[in-house]
Structure 1
Amino acid sequence: MLKVKSVVKEFSGFRAVDECSFEVEKNTITGLIGPNGAGKTTMFNLIAGSLKLDQGEVYFSEQKVNNFAPHQIARLGLARTFQIPKTLRKMTVLENLMLVPSGQSGENIWNSWFRGAKVENEEKVNAAKAYETLEFLEMEHLADEMAVNLSGGQKKLLELGRALMAEPELILLDEPGAGVNPTLLNKIAENILKLKERGKTILLIEHNMDLIMNICDRVIVMNDGKHLVEGTPAEIKTNPQVLEAYLGEKTA
């Protein structure tokens, strides 16, 4: 589903990602972990097209996407969330979701005037899809709530819902558990597992090791911009290189 080959990204001479390579298999949940500053979010930005690679290649579904803009990559079936949710604060939860589908006829002012029936039918379809997404997230009771009024955890769920509205094949989740209370964290974990059941592929950055160990099929570890090791959660948990990277000291 995703191949990252010898990727390099520098900022003013500092190499944030350094010859990093890894693969993500289809219909798996893969964790991307590492100490602060390891290059994880920079890697997400490179994969999603928000940053341009200095060197290397990124393939999504066997298509090279190095020079693609974010919206072009999104249309291929890749969606992402952010560590700090980017909700539209002055719109309702339902409106946040309905805005996502691309190519809506109502985006053209002439269609609003002269093709009103088509615009109305599209909005009905998008509303039904949005309600279905909210039911999946168990947020249907918040459909008419303004996004600004949501808790941090609810905003994380809303951002996941916005990603799902794009009907992606691969979803990049940037710290979905950060700042989330235990109840909502469990709900997020359940939703991620349900997405796998639906055939989706997930790559997530996360510092909550319990979440990583409980839901991931494989874990990739980055350190100092490099691919350090990868393996099953059980293998990563006891790997001496991983312990050294996190604890800053060599283990016996």
Structure 2
Amino acid sequence: MLKVKEAVKEFNGFRAVNRCSIDVPANKITGLIGPNGAGKTTLFNLISGGLTLDTGEVWFNQERIDQLPAHKIVHKGLYRTFQIPRALEKMTTIENLMLVPANQLGEKIWNSWFRNKQVKAEEQKIKARAEEVLGFLELTHVKYELAGNLSVGQKKLLELGRALMSDPDMILLDEPAAGVNPTLMKKIAENIRKLQQQGKTFLLIEHNMDLIMDICDKVIVMNNGEHLIEGTPQEVRNNKEVLEAYLGVEEGHNDIAG
């Protein structure tokens, strides 16, 4: 579903991503791991349109997207979340979700005057969808709570909810478990699995190796801006090159999740 070909990105002479190529299969959960500074977030920004490639290509659903702005990439069905949730904190949880769908009739003021019935009907449809998403994420009890008052874990779930409101084919998750307590982390993992079973594709950056090993079908390892290896979680867990050269685990300790 997603192909990155020979991606290169430099910042003031420092090559953050160095001829990196990855393939992400459809309807699977793929993990992207690496130490701080490996280039993972930069690669996410290149894929989602937050940064422009120096050289290389990004293809999504057999269409080249690296020359498109971020909002057009979202409309192609590729949605990206952030490590630090970007909720509108002075709006309620349900309002955050209802803002997501693009090109709403109510965005044009004259429609409120001349197409009032259609505007209200669309708004009710969007609200119903938002309530459905909140129910799926088990956030119904905070739907009228200001987003700024939510816990870190609830904000991460709200980020996932905002992604679902755009009905994407693929979701890029940037550290969904960071700062989240174990109970909510389990809930996030369960939701990702359910969505994958419903046909969604995921690529996630994550430092929590237990989560990576638990939910991922495939794991891609980056180091120094480059694609190092890829394989099943078990193959990556036991790879000597990953253990010694990349994760810095001493020989004999072959459990990267521990």
TM-score by length of 1: 0.98
3-state SS of 1:167 partner? coil
Kindly indicate whether the alpha-carbon contact (under 8 Å) linking 2:31 and 2:216 is maintained by their aligned counterparts in 1: yes
List gaps (5 residues or longer) in structure 2: 253-258
Letter of the 2:205 counterpart: I
Report matched runs for 1:169-180 at 5 Å.
169-180=169-180
Distance 1:119 1:245 in 2: 58
Partner-residue secondary structure (3-state), 1:26: coil
Structure 1 residue aligned with 2:101: 101
How many angstroms apart in 1 are the aligned matches of 2:112 and 2:210?
49
Corresponding residue for 1:78? 78
Quote the Cα distance in structure 2 between the aligned partners of 1:247 and 1:132: 41
Secondary structure of 2:30's aligned partner:
strand
- Residue equivalent to 2:61: 61
Contact 1:175 1:205 in 2 (8 A): yes
In 2: Cα distance, 1:164 partner to 1:118 partner = 23
Counterpart-to-counterpart distance in 1, 2:213 and 2:178: 16
Distance (Å, rounded) in 2 between the aligned partners of 1:167 and 1:15 = 34
Shift of 1:245: 4.0
Instruction: Quote how far apart the aligned CAs of 1:118 are.
Output: 1.1
Q: Which runs of 5+ in 1 are unaligned?
A: none
The equivalent of 1:147 in structure 2 is: 147
Checking the alignment, whether the CA contact within 8 Å between 1:35 and 1:245 is kept in structure 2 is no
Query: Within 2, Cα distance between the matches of 1:178 and 1:249?
Result: 22
Distance 1:129 1:116 in 2: 20
- Equivalent residue pairs, number: 252
Deviations 1:67-111 (A, max 9, x none): 000111100100010000000000000000000000001001111
Q: Which residue type is aligned with residue 243 of structure 1?
A: L
Report the secondary structure of 2:203's partner residue: strand
- Could you tell me how far 1:249 is from its partner in structure 2? 6.7
* % identical equivalent positions: 65
CA RMSD, Structure 1 to Structure 2 (Å): 1.1
| TM-score w.r.t. length of structure 2 | 0.96
Report the AA paired with residue 4 of structure 2: V
How much has 1:244 moved relative to structure 2?
2.3
